[in-house]
Amino acid sequence: MVIRSTVRDPEILARRRAELVEVATTLFLENGFHKTSIRDIARACPFNLAAVYMYVSSKEDILYLVAQHLVTEIVKALGPTTLTDLDPAEALVNAFETYCRIVNRYSRHIRLLYREIESLSKDTRQPLLKSVESLLEIFKKLIIRAIEVGEVHNIDPHIAAVDLMVAAHTWALHGRMLRPHFNIGSFTKKQSAIVFSGLLTKSTAKANGRVVRIAKSKSARYAAEKIDARRKRSG
């Protein structure tokens, strides 16, 4: 989706729209999308109402920018996790735990997107959902790789990818219940253990934040026993 603008300088346009995104995110969360006017957004920006209309045409444009910015930044941060030589299951766990940390960084934006995405028209919402699909694809590819080598159960990769995203979003959506008891590090480890206890096959064990393939060889069994011993001592 292309949002019309009268500004031709791409650097100025990007900078001003980033300011709009930041201000609008705060106001939409505080007051809701429908109770926030473009005039309210302009008052909180370092430029006036007339200037706002140089960068966007409507309040819906601003909400779309907020949502698109979030998805773009998440895909950019998560994408490198697929470029790895890690074992498939380990790569999947690494991607999930990386995503949890990304969710922590963008908690406000994620809460807003969950709450207000239905405020967008269907024509505006569809390209945004396609962008979200690109995020799902990252998890789906990792899941399929792990299924192919027998490290993840033969499950539907699309459903599993959605489950992983929703599990990470718990930190953003239910932070008031979680933050008194956990920081993002401890939440990530515990949530990861819960999620992957059902996804990983019996031949794959998760320990110390790493996924370890347990082969039938004596050396592999010995390594797994050492990991279990370290976990008991640390526990």
Q: What's 86's domain CATH number?
A: 1.10.357.10
187-220 confidence digits (pLDDT tens): 999 999 999 998 998 767 544 345 554 433 333 4
- Adjacent-strand bridge partners of 212: 205
Position 169 in a domain? yes
Position 111 in a domain? yes
Highest mean pLDDT among 45-59, 142-156, 202-216: 142-156
The mean pLDDT value of the chain amounts to 85
Q: Residue 225, CB half-sphere, CA atoms under 13 Å: how many?
A: 7
Position 219 in a domain? no
Nearest to 104 by CA among 169, 59, 163: 169
Range of the domain at 157: 70-201
Position 37 in a domain? no
Position 13 in a domain? no
Position 180 in a domain? yes
Residue with tokens 């990470």: 168
Catalogue the E-assigned strands of the chain.
204-207, 210-213
pLDDT band at residue 221 using 50, 70 and 90 as cut-offs: very low
Domain count, the chain: 1
Position 3 in a domain? no
Tokens of 186: 């401890």
Tell me the Ramachandran region of residue 217: left when phi exceeds 0, alpha when psi lies from -120 to 50, beta otherwise: beta
φ/ψ of 152, rounded to 5, equals -125, 140
Cα 88 to Cα 184: distance, rounded to the nearest angstrom: 24
Yes or no: say if 101 and 188 are a contact pair by the CB < 8 Å rule.
yes
pLDDT of residue 231: 60
pLDDT (mean) for 132-156: 93
Position 159 in a domain? yes
Cα 222 to Cα 218: distance, rounded to the nearest angstrom: 6
